[in-house]
Chain A
């Protein structure tokens, strides 16, 4: 596909951007691999208005393991699951990576701050400092996967899925890449729980404290996207600034943890369900001036 400059969108509606999903990956509590997630979805997702509430997964928290993974570890794990499909479409030079984390590696930041402030900073840890940098996880993933295209660590104040899809769309439309790997990673840490408690005790409102109360992914999710007109897609996703056509959608009763969790989980679930002909859409976020919806559907044949 190298050198193609075709428009990624399937129509010219303002604010509408369509992308093709090649594959999805996950390493987020409680799923260590996309196959576990897929099996659980198959068992617990009901395409019906009358479906009963889906059961919640009962497997352990991945961050409770003895060999506790870092944010970089789970990001690399999730990305490894989508890399093979990406490699069928693009070379290392034509593969880009967009990585997003709300808090970065909190344990490393905590460790660095502690080492900096203890003993007048004599033992400030260069390793913790390096790990505490937001983009380190993306760098480690790029090294692990051999990515030579643009490798960006991004932050969004709202619509974390629609916004990163928009950034991916731009890279593809500008012909900087043929595949863009997307990854979201975070973890609920003890420090973060302390902060949330302090915020609640201080009576700080949600609007003022979106940083602390923002929904976190507990682990990492990854999605490989390409141009919407590529032949072998798992699903198509569209971002819009207007509500999608409701008639296109099947109502899907997703388990509570996905409905209420980070919207990257919905994107991954939507891509898996799309192959069965189901569609999923949601309002991904809004600020004072803009609303962003995401819709995941079966790819056009």
Chain B
């Protein structure tokens, strides 16, 4: 009997919002020109945070079906997810807001901050005067409210959950979608993540002394920390049979997803990288590929001392120091978008495969020589068949995804 657990899963739609722009096309054009848009947060915040460069999205266009009052009442994560999901669904040639769908579509999303922007607003009022604090602000603070919004707007009636495992969350969501499709529980799923800037995250990472105020420099010798970012990416994933039946050409394929846990430390990575290595190998094994089949790695590359050192060790262990594929971290461009990083970087990798251009390791064209990482100094034209993304998180969670080039039409024709 054929092993369905290694079947490729088709990516037939993608949507992305980041500080690089709104939509795949805007993101891609900005990214291949290595445009950095880092700046201090536009929102008023405590003085010690005001000078920190962050990666903030541009003003978001309100979808026609969401009235202005509702749109303004949503949490930032919900607005970002709504925009990214709309684009992914349109690109997949699915009806955007049908009365009903012929079969259930699953929904696996991710966030960490949830509605923390609303919680902060509420808590400021609550501190001042408990009885008059606007409790309605808390209507949409919960993480699952992202799923409620997307499921109800797009009539997604299949299985759904939301992952909150910090920086690997949306990669885990993609993994769940792939697993659900491969095991025959659903033929189609939306998967992704959304994360909006909020003071708690900026202040929290500052308190942990993990923020680089000027901007991150992944894998550089003098790396100082992360750039806090916001954004969302959503993918439409479906079985090959479903894509064929709908006559849509896959933009890319997800071939393998690895997930492991260090069980080592709450915030720091286990230094040898044993479990990240296991996650990469798991993804390659599922994809039935060898390390030298991988032409591009979109690294987690946060720009923190410990993460990049551990990741370099893991990449060297999996690929060898002399035969490494091209490697870049795109976090200087998008910022570290935490729960949505996995999905954003999967979309970036799929676009890189489709266009035959690999994005630069922005912020650090030369890597720390002690790390032995083959970083891409500038955007490089290179036709690559397979890419690998890596994400690592607080709590020692590790994910890796193998993406292969698809045959689908470019989103720029939309």
Chain B residue numbers with a CB within 8 Å of A142 are 261, 263, 395-396
Chain A residue numbers with a CB within 8 Å of B203 are 116, 121, 124, 129
List A residues 121-138 near B (Cβ within 8 Å).
121-122, 124-126, 129-130, 132-136, 138
Contacts known (A112-B200, A136-B395, A199-B135); A155 close to B143, Cβ less than 8 A: yes
Q: Is the CB of B183 within 8 A of A93?
A: no
Q: Is the CB of B395 within 8 A of A129?
A: no
Contacts known (A152-B163, A195-B135); A130 close to B200, Cβ less than 8 A: no
* Partner pick for A163 among B46, B119, B161, B396, CB 8 A cutoff: B161
Q: Is the CB of B139 within 8 A of A143?
A: no
Task: Judge if B127 is at the interface, Cβ distance under 8 Å.
Answer: yes
Chain B residue numbers with a CB within 8 Å of A125 are 207
Please name the residue on chain B nearest to A214 by beta carbon.
Answer: B142
Q: Is the CB of B172 within 8 A of A152?
A: yes
Query: Which residues of A line the B interface, CB within 8 A?
Result: 5, 92-93, 97, 102, 109, 112-114, 116-117, 120-122, 124-126, 129-130, 132-136, 138-140, 142-143, 145-157, 163-164, 166-167, 170-171, 173-176, 194-195, 198-199, 202, 204, 208-209, 211-212, 287-290
Please name the residue on chain A nearest to B266 by beta carbon.
Answer: A139
Task: Judge if B66 is at the interface, Cβ distance under 8 Å.
Answer: no
Chain A residue numbers with a CB within 8 Å of B164 are 134-135, 153-155
* Partner pick for B260 among A149, A163, A198, CB 8 A cutoff: A149
Task: Judge if B120 is at the interface, Cβ distance under 8 Å.
Answer: yes
Task: Judge if B136 is at the interface, Cβ distance under 8 Å.
Answer: yes
Contacts known (A92-B263, A126-B207, A126-B208); A120 close to B48, Cβ less than 8 A: yes
**Distance in Å from the Cβ of A243 to the closest Cβ of chain B?**
18
Q: Is the CB of B135 within 8 A of A202?
A: yes
Task: Judge if B259 is at the interface, Cβ distance under 8 Å.
Answer: yes
* Partner pick for B207 among A124, A155, A173, CB 8 A cutoff: A124
Please name the residue on chain A nearest to B122 by beta carbon.
Answer: A195
Q: Is the CB of B263 within 8 A of A154?
A: no
**Distance in Å from the Cβ of B265 to the closest Cβ of chain A?**
7
Measured CA separation A240–B3 after assembly (Å): 26
Can you list 14 contacts pairing A with B, beta carbon distance less than 8 Å?
A109-B119, A114-B127, A116-B200, A121-B46, A132-B200, A150-B175, A150-B261, A155-B142, A155-B163, A170-B179, A170-B180, A211-B138, A211-B140, A289-B157
Instruction: Categorize the interface residue count of chain B.
Output: 35 or more
Q: Is the CB of A146 within 8 A of B263?
A: yes
* Partner pick for B200 among A113, A164, A209, A211, CB 8 A cutoff: A113
Measured CA separation A129–B166 after assembly (Å): 13
Chain B residue numbers with a CB within 8 Å of A289 are 155, 157
Q: Is the CB of B142 within 8 A of A5?
A: no
**Distance in Å from the Cβ of B257 to the closest Cβ of chain A?**
9
Q: Is the CB of A147 within 8 A of B263?
A: yes
Chain A residue numbers with a CB within 8 Å of B60 are none
Measured CA separation A170–B157 after assembly (Å): 17
Query: Which residues of B line the A interface, CB within 8 A?
Result: 3, 5, 46-49, 112, 119-120, 123-124, 127, 130-131, 133, 135-136, 138-145, 147-148, 151-152, 155, 157, 159-166, 172, 175-176, 179-180, 182-183, 185, 199-200, 203-204, 206-209, 259-267, 275, 278, 393-397
Contacts known (A112-B204, A117-B123, A155-B164); A167 close to B267, Cβ less than 8 A: no
Q: Is the CB of A133 within 8 A of B166?
A: yes
* Partner pick for B208 among A116, A130, A156, A157, CB 8 A cutoff: A130
Chain A residue numbers with a CB within 8 Å of B395 are 135-136, 138-139, 142, 151
Measured CA separation A143–B275 after assembly (Å): 13
Please name the residue on chain A nearest to B157 by beta carbon.
Answer: A289
Chain B residue numbers with a CB within 8 Å of A129 are 200, 203-204, 207-208
Chain A residue numbers with a CB within 8 Å of B135 are 195, 198-199, 202, 204
Chain A residue numbers with a CB within 8 Å of B138 are 195, 199, 209, 211-212
Measured CA separation A132–B135 after assembly (Å): 21
Measured CA separation A211–B119 after assembly (Å): 13
Measured CA separation A119–B19 after assembly (Å): 31
Q: Is the CB of B260 within 8 A of A143?
A: no
Q: Is the CB of A157 within 8 A of B147?
A: yes
Please name the residue on chain B nearest to A124 by beta carbon.
Answer: B207
**Distance in Å from the Cβ of B118 to the closest Cβ of chain A?**
11
Chain A residue numbers with a CB within 8 Å of B151 are 157, 287
Measured CA separation A153–B261 after assembly (Å): 13
Chain A residue numbers with a CB within 8 Å of B204 are 112, 116, 124, 126, 129-130, 132
